[in-house]
Amino acid sequence: MTQIIDQEIKEHSHKVYSDTAVAAGAFIGGPLVSCFFMTQTATTLRKPEKNLGLWTATIIFSGLIVFLVAYVPAVEKIPGYVIPVTYTIAYYQLHKNWYGKDIQAHIENGGQLHGWARVILLSILGLIIYMLIIIGFLVANDPINQMSNIRTFGNVQHEIHYTNNVTDDEADDIGNALMTNGLFGNNEKSYIYTDKKNQVFLLYVVLDELSIYNPEIIQYYKELEEDVESTTDYSASILLCVESLDDVRETIE
């Protein structure tokens, strides 16, 4: 068994990745996978001089992608295929320009290419790791997760979730105002997400797509915002969102 494993390792150490394998790795698994393929090819060809620089640039570029996805909402307007296609072409061209002739000579001298089963398997593994990193950033930066403090009101246990910028007493004042003015007065459980910036309380309300464009509902929240301010003497804004707190469709000040 040991001899078989040693033979397998030896065979893989003398194989290189084709240009199309690098492109597939980039498109399926992301820049880190294609960088791994390229540096493995370089090592096999005994031309590792560019490996450190390539890894450094790839890690920085991958971090930039994660940052854009997690922190820059405007990225959502870019068609999903644009960024992957762009870096796929870039890694394909780099691999071809840097190692194309050497790979051809390697094959002519009896060298082999890594099989597609290995390429696809490693690409999928890379994709899973990359997605877990992005999901981790998104979860860590989800505004709801930053509102870890909770106060409940009424028999239905209506909830106010609030950040550390809001004190417990301020959350109580807002909750009592909402009890008085109706939002927390019905029998259906309601949720408000609260933050405070520049002495203004931001009250986030999540609605469905249809409700957000209903004039009567908009008017209701305008009156609610005025009632909260008059009841608490706080400056407040109500932000109407769809599905998540990042998707603010209407701000009532």
Q: Are 236 and 205 in contact (CB under 8 A)?
A: no
Q: What is the pLDDT of residue 7?
A: 44
Q: Which residues of 229-242 are buried (b: 16+ CB within 10 A; e: fewer)?
A: bebbebebbbbbbb
Q: What is the pLDDT of residue 53?
A: 95
Last residue of a domain, which of 141, 166, 187?
A: 141
Same domain, 131 and 211: no
Which residue range forms the structural domain that includes residue 172?
A: 144-252
Q: What is the pLDDT of residue 5?
A: 35
How far apart, in whole angstroms, are the C-alpha atoms of residue 209 and residue 190?
A: 17
Same domain, 157 and 241: yes
Q: What is the pLDDT of residue 36?
A: 96
The model's pTM is: 0.62
Same domain, 120 and 156: no
Q: Are 145 and 175 in contact (CB under 8 A)?
A: no
Q: What is the pLDDT of residue 112?
A: 92
Residues of the chain with pLDDT under 70: 1-13, 73, 140-146, 185-186
Helical residues (DSSP H) of the chain, grouped into ranges: 2-13, 19-29, 31-44, 51-71, 82-108, 116-140, 143-146, 168-181, 215-232
Residues 141-168 have pLDDT tens digits of: 666 666 778 888 888 888 888 888 888 9
Same domain, 235 and 204: yes
Q: Which of 100, 182, 192 is nearest to 151 (CA)?
A: 192
Structural domains in the chain (count): 2
Same domain, 90 and 132: yes
Last residue of a domain, which of 118, 141, 164?
A: 141
Same domain, 106 and 214: no
Q: What is the pLDDT of residue 241?
A: 87
Residues 30-76 have pLDDT tens digits of: 999 999 999 999 999 999 999 999 999 999 999 898 888 777 767 77
Q: What is the pLDDT of residue 142?
A: 64
Same domain, 121 and 195: no
Token pair of 82 as six digits: 């644009």
Q: Fill in the amino acid letter for 7.
A: Q
